[in-house]
Protein backbone atom coordinates (compact mmCIF):
# COMPACT_ATOMS: atom_id res chain seq x y z
CA UNK A 1 0.00 0.00 0.00
CA UNK A 2 1.62 3.33 -1.04
CA UNK A 3 2.20 5.99 1.58
CA UNK A 4 2.19 9.77 1.32
CA UNK A 5 4.22 11.93 3.67
CA UNK A 6 2.27 14.51 5.62
CA UNK A 7 3.61 17.91 6.58
CA UNK A 8 5.10 16.69 9.87
CA UNK A 9 6.68 13.64 8.21
CA UNK A 10 4.01 11.13 9.25
CA UNK A 11 3.35 8.49 6.56
CA UNK A 12 -0.29 8.24 5.48
CA UNK A 13 -1.26 5.07 3.62
CA UNK A 14 -3.68 5.30 0.71
CA UNK A 15 -5.45 2.67 -1.39
CA UNK A 16 -6.62 3.75 -4.84
CA UNK A 17 -9.25 2.23 -7.11
CA UNK A 18 -11.34 3.29 -10.08
CA UNK A 19 -11.01 5.74 -12.94
CA UNK A 20 -11.93 9.37 -13.56
CA UNK A 21 -11.52 12.52 -11.44
CA UNK A 22 -10.01 11.95 -8.01
CA UNK A 23 -12.12 11.63 -4.85
CA UNK A 24 -10.39 11.40 -1.46
CA UNK A 25 -12.32 9.40 1.13
CA UNK A 26 -11.73 10.20 4.82
CA UNK A 27 -12.97 7.45 7.19
CA UNK A 28 -14.73 7.94 10.49
CA UNK A 29 -13.78 6.90 14.00
CA UNK A 30 -12.92 3.22 14.53
CA UNK A 31 -12.90 2.84 10.74
CA UNK A 32 -10.10 1.97 8.31
CA UNK A 33 -9.79 2.32 4.56
CA UNK A 34 -10.85 -1.26 3.91
CA UNK A 35 -14.24 -0.67 5.55
CA UNK A 36 -15.16 1.47 2.52
CA UNK A 37 -14.06 -0.96 -0.18
CA UNK A 38 -17.63 -1.70 -1.37
CA UNK A 39 -18.49 2.01 -1.37
CA UNK A 40 -15.40 2.78 -3.47
CA UNK A 41 -16.16 -0.09 -5.85
CA UNK A 42 -19.64 1.35 -6.46
CA UNK A 43 -18.05 4.64 -7.56
CA UNK A 44 -15.12 3.13 -9.46
CA UNK A 45 -16.62 3.67 -12.92
CA UNK A 46 -16.89 7.43 -12.44
CA UNK A 47 -14.21 8.34 -9.90
CA UNK A 48 -10.67 7.42 -8.91
CA UNK A 49 -11.25 6.87 -5.20
CA UNK A 50 -8.32 7.35 -2.82
CA UNK A 51 -9.11 5.57 0.46
CA UNK A 52 -7.13 7.10 3.31
CA UNK A 53 -5.98 5.20 6.38
CA UNK A 54 -5.92 7.99 8.94
CA UNK A 55 -3.23 8.29 11.60
CA UNK A 56 -3.16 5.35 13.98
CA UNK A 57 -4.40 2.91 11.34
CA UNK A 58 -2.75 0.26 9.16
CA UNK A 59 0.48 1.37 7.54
CA UNK A 60 -0.03 5.01 8.49
CA UNK A 61 1.97 6.52 11.31
CA UNK A 62 0.65 6.92 14.88
CA UNK A 63 -1.50 9.79 16.08
CA UNK A 64 1.54 11.03 17.98
CA UNK A 65 1.79 13.36 21.00
CA UNK A 66 1.07 16.46 18.88
CA UNK A 67 -2.16 15.00 17.49
CA UNK A 68 -4.84 17.54 16.62
CA UNK A 69 -7.44 18.35 14.00
CA UNK A 70 -4.78 20.44 12.28
CA UNK A 71 -2.67 17.29 11.77
CA UNK A 72 -5.66 15.47 10.26
CA UNK A 73 -6.30 18.36 7.88
CA UNK A 74 -2.62 18.40 6.89
CA UNK A 75 -2.80 14.66 6.20
CA UNK A 76 -5.84 15.07 3.96
CA UNK A 77 -4.24 18.02 2.17
CA UNK A 78 -1.10 15.95 1.54
CA UNK A 79 -3.20 13.23 -0.12
CA UNK A 80 -4.96 15.82 -2.29
CA UNK A 81 -1.62 17.31 -3.30
CA UNK A 82 -0.05 13.94 -4.11
CA UNK A 83 -3.01 12.59 -6.08
CA UNK A 84 -4.25 15.77 -7.74
CA UNK A 85 -7.77 15.03 -6.45
CA UNK A 86 -10.13 17.96 -5.88
CA UNK A 87 -13.17 16.18 -4.40
CA UNK A 88 -13.58 14.88 -0.84
CA UNK A 89 -15.97 12.50 0.91
CA UNK A 90 -15.93 12.43 4.70
CA UNK A 91 -17.85 10.11 7.02
CA UNK A 92 -18.54 10.88 10.69
CA UNK A 93 -15.28 12.18 12.25
CA UNK A 94 -13.89 12.09 8.72
CA UNK A 95 -16.72 14.45 7.79
CA UNK A 96 -15.51 16.94 10.39
CA UNK A 97 -11.98 16.67 8.98
CA UNK A 98 -13.37 17.31 5.50
CA UNK A 99 -15.24 20.39 6.71
CA UNK A 100 -12.13 21.83 8.36
CA UNK A 101 -10.15 21.08 5.20
CA UNK A 102 -12.72 22.89 3.06
CA UNK A 103 -12.40 26.01 5.20
CA UNK A 104 -8.86 26.56 3.99
CA UNK A 105 -8.74 24.88 0.59
CA UNK A 106 -10.69 25.18 -2.61
CA UNK A 107 -12.47 21.92 -3.49
CA UNK A 108 -14.47 21.09 -6.60
CA UNK A 109 -17.01 19.06 -4.62
CA UNK A 110 -17.49 18.16 -0.95
CA UNK A 111 -19.68 15.30 0.31
CA UNK A 112 -20.38 14.76 4.00
CA UNK A 113 -22.14 11.76 5.53
CA UNK A 114 -23.21 12.64 9.08
CA UNK A 115 -20.25 14.74 10.15
CA UNK A 116 -19.20 14.22 13.77
CA UNK A 117 -19.87 17.86 14.53
CA UNK A 118 -20.59 19.33 17.96
CA UNK A 119 -22.93 22.26 17.37
CA UNK A 120 -24.10 24.22 20.41
CA UNK A 121 -22.80 21.66 22.91
CA UNK A 122 -24.92 18.74 21.81
CA UNK A 123 -22.22 16.20 22.77
CA UNK A 124 -21.83 15.71 26.51
CA UNK A 125 -18.12 16.05 27.50
CA UNK A 126 -18.67 13.49 30.27
CA UNK A 127 -18.54 10.82 27.55
CA UNK A 128 -14.84 11.56 27.06
CA UNK A 129 -13.84 11.42 30.73
CA UNK A 130 -15.86 8.25 31.32
CA UNK A 131 -14.37 6.57 28.27
CA UNK A 132 -10.80 7.54 29.22
CA UNK A 133 -11.27 6.20 32.74
CA UNK A 134 -12.60 2.87 31.50
CA UNK A 135 -9.86 2.46 28.88
CA UNK A 136 -7.21 3.23 31.53
CA UNK A 137 -8.71 0.46 33.68
CA UNK A 138 -8.65 -1.99 30.78
CA UNK A 139 -12.44 -2.09 30.55
CA UNK A 140 -12.64 -1.87 26.80
CA UNK A 141 -16.19 -3.17 26.39
CA UNK A 142 -17.48 -0.64 28.90
CA UNK A 143 -15.57 2.14 27.14
CA UNK A 144 -17.15 1.06 23.87
CA UNK A 145 -20.68 1.08 25.27
CA UNK A 146 -20.05 4.47 26.90
CA UNK A 147 -19.13 5.89 23.50
CA UNK A 148 -22.02 4.27 21.62
CA UNK A 149 -24.68 5.03 24.23
CA UNK A 150 -23.42 8.57 24.82
CA UNK A 151 -23.80 9.44 21.14
CA UNK A 152 -27.02 7.48 20.67
CA UNK A 153 -25.49 5.37 17.90
CA UNK A 154 -27.31 2.16 18.91
CA UNK A 155 -30.72 1.40 20.48
CA UNK A 156 -29.13 0.49 23.78
CA UNK A 157 -32.32 1.29 25.66
CA UNK A 158 -33.81 -1.93 24.31
CA UNK A 159 -31.34 -3.95 26.40
CA UNK A 160 -30.11 -3.63 29.99
CA UNK A 161 -26.66 -2.03 30.03
CA UNK A 162 -24.91 -5.14 31.44
CA UNK A 163 -26.33 -7.20 28.56
CA UNK A 164 -25.21 -4.65 25.99
CA UNK A 165 -21.75 -4.50 27.58
CA UNK A 166 -21.48 -8.28 27.41
CA UNK A 167 -22.46 -8.15 23.75
CA UNK A 168 -19.78 -5.49 23.16
CA UNK A 169 -17.18 -7.68 24.88
CA UNK A 170 -18.03 -10.61 22.62
CA UNK A 171 -17.92 -8.39 19.54
CA UNK A 172 -14.50 -6.98 20.47
CA UNK A 173 -13.09 -10.50 20.72
CA UNK A 174 -14.12 -11.64 17.24
CA UNK A 175 -11.70 -11.48 14.31
CA UNK A 176 -13.20 -8.19 13.10
CA UNK A 177 -13.70 -6.94 16.62
CA UNK A 178 -10.03 -7.26 17.48
CA UNK A 179 -9.30 -4.60 14.88
CA UNK A 180 -11.90 -2.32 16.47
CA UNK A 181 -10.39 -3.07 19.86
CA UNK A 182 -6.97 -1.98 18.59
CA UNK A 183 -8.45 1.32 17.41
CA UNK A 184 -10.24 2.16 20.66
CA UNK A 185 -7.21 4.04 21.88
CA UNK A 186 -7.59 6.56 19.05
CA UNK A 187 -11.10 7.59 20.11
CA UNK A 188 -10.32 9.84 23.11
CA UNK A 189 -7.96 12.09 21.12
CA UNK A 190 -10.51 12.39 18.33
CA UNK A 191 -13.44 13.06 20.64
CA UNK A 192 -11.37 15.72 22.40
CA UNK A 193 -10.98 17.51 19.07
CA UNK A 194 -14.72 17.26 18.40
CA UNK A 195 -15.47 18.83 21.78
CA UNK A 196 -12.83 21.54 21.33
CA UNK A 197 -14.44 22.61 18.05
CA UNK A 198 -17.87 23.14 19.61
CA UNK A 199 -19.46 26.27 18.12
CA UNK A 200 -22.65 27.62 16.62
CA UNK A 201 -21.29 26.55 13.23
CA UNK A 202 -21.00 30.04 11.80
CA UNK A 203 -17.46 29.46 10.54
CA UNK A 204 -18.71 26.86 8.05
CA UNK A 205 -20.47 29.60 6.09
CA UNK A 206 -17.02 30.30 4.63
CA UNK A 207 -17.00 26.98 2.73
CA UNK A 208 -17.26 27.76 -0.98
CA UNK A 209 -17.35 24.25 -2.45
CA UNK A 210 -20.61 22.80 -3.80
CA UNK A 211 -21.53 20.50 -0.92
CA UNK A 212 -23.82 17.54 -0.40
CA UNK A 213 -24.70 16.64 3.17
CA UNK A 214 -26.21 13.20 3.70
CA UNK A 215 -27.93 11.65 6.70
CA UNK A 216 -29.85 8.49 7.48
CA UNK A 217 -33.38 8.49 8.81
CA UNK A 218 -32.43 5.77 11.31
CA UNK A 219 -29.56 7.79 12.79
CA UNK A 220 -29.92 9.69 16.10
CA UNK A 221 -32.17 12.73 15.90
CA UNK A 222 -29.50 15.09 17.24
CA UNK A 223 -27.10 13.99 14.51
CA UNK A 224 -29.68 14.59 11.78
CA UNK A 225 -30.45 18.01 13.24
CA UNK A 226 -26.77 18.94 13.14
CA UNK A 227 -26.53 17.99 9.46
CA UNK A 228 -29.61 20.04 8.62
CA UNK A 229 -28.24 23.07 10.46
CA UNK A 230 -24.87 22.65 8.79
CA UNK A 231 -26.48 22.57 5.35
CA UNK A 232 -28.28 25.81 6.12
CA UNK A 233 -24.96 27.47 6.95
CA UNK A 234 -22.96 26.44 3.87
CA UNK A 235 -23.94 28.65 0.90
CA UNK A 236 -23.83 25.95 -1.80
CA UNK A 237 -25.07 22.98 0.25
CA UNK A 238 -27.83 20.48 -0.41
CA UNK A 239 -29.18 18.20 2.33
CA UNK A 240 -30.61 14.73 1.75
CA UNK A 241 -32.05 12.29 4.30
CA UNK A 242 -32.48 8.65 3.29
CA UNK A 243 -35.14 7.09 5.55
CA UNK A 244 -33.80 3.52 5.64
CA UNK A 245 -30.15 4.32 6.34
CA UNK A 246 -28.21 4.68 9.59
CA UNK A 247 -24.85 6.10 10.65
CA UNK A 248 -22.86 3.17 9.28
CA UNK A 249 -24.50 3.08 5.85
CA UNK A 250 -21.36 4.05 3.84
CA UNK A 251 -19.06 1.51 5.47
CA UNK A 252 -21.31 -1.37 6.53
CA UNK A 253 -25.04 -1.35 5.97
CA UNK A 254 -25.72 0.24 2.56
CA UNK A 255 -22.58 1.40 0.72
CA UNK A 256 -24.20 1.02 -2.73
CA UNK A 257 -27.19 3.17 -1.77
CA UNK A 258 -24.94 5.94 -0.44
CA UNK A 259 -22.73 5.64 -3.53
CA UNK A 260 -25.80 6.17 -5.74
CA UNK A 261 -26.48 9.50 -4.04
CA UNK A 262 -22.84 10.53 -4.18
CA UNK A 263 -22.51 9.57 -7.85
CA UNK A 264 -25.56 11.64 -8.79
CA UNK A 265 -24.14 14.69 -7.02
CA UNK A 266 -20.62 14.33 -8.40
CA UNK A 267 -21.69 13.73 -11.99
CA UNK A 268 -24.87 15.83 -12.33
CA UNK A 269 -24.98 18.01 -9.23
CA UNK A 270 -28.15 16.36 -7.95
CA UNK A 271 -29.01 13.78 -5.33
CA UNK A 272 -32.26 12.09 -4.42
CA UNK A 273 -33.05 10.14 -1.27
CA UNK A 274 -34.63 6.76 -1.59
For 87-110, the pLDDT digits (tens) are 999 999 999 999 999 999 999 999
pLDDT in tens, 156-186: 555 667 777 887 888 888 888 899 999 999 9
> Which residue numbers in the chain have pLDDT < 70?
1, 155-160, 270-274
pLDDT in the model for residue 158: 56
Q: Measure the CA–CA gap between 89 and 247, rounded to whole angstroms.
A: 15
Q: Measure the CA–CA gap between 58 and 130, rounded to whole angstroms.
A: 27
8 Å CB contact between 99 and 112? yes
Cβ burial 108-122 (10 Å sphere, 16+ → b, else e): ebbbbbbbbbbbeee
Going by C-alpha positions, the residue among 151, 120, 137 that lies closest to residue 28 is 151
pLDDT in the model for residue 235: 97
SS3 of the chain: CCEEECCCCCEEEEEEEECCCEEEEECCCCCCHHHHHHHHHHHCCCCEEEEEECCCCCCCCCCCCCCCHHHHHHHHHHHHHHHCCCEEEEECHHHHHHHHHHHHCCCCEEEEECCCCCECCCCCCHHHHHHHHHHHCCCHHHHHHHHHHHHCCCCHHHCCHHHHHHHHHHHHCCHHHHHHHHHHHHHHHHHHHHHHCCECCHHHHHCCCCEEEEEECCCCHHHHHHHHHHHHHCCCEEEEEECCCCCCHHHHHCHHHHHHHHHHHHHHCCCCCC
pLDDT in the model for residue 274: 31
Helix 187-196 to helix 69-83 angle (10° resolution) is 100
Q: Which residues pair with 11 in a beta bridge?
A: 5
pLDDT in the model for residue 174: 87
8 Å CB contact between 109 and 265? yes
- Say what the pTM is: 0.95
Q: Measure the CA–CA gap between 45 and 144, rounded to whole angstroms.
A: 37
pLDDT in the model for residue 171: 80
pLDDT in the model for residue 184: 96
Going by C-alpha positions, the residue among 36, 30, 4 that lies closest to residue 18 is 36
pLDDT in the model for residue 229: 98
Amino acid sequence: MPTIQSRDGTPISVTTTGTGPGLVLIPGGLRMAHHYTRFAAALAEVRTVHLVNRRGRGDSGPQGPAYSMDREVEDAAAVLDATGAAEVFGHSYGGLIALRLALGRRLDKLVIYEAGLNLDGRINPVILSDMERKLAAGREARAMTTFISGLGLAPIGLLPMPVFTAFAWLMLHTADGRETRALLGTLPSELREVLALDSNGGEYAAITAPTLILAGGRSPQWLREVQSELAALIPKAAYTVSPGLDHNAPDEKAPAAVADLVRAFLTTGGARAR
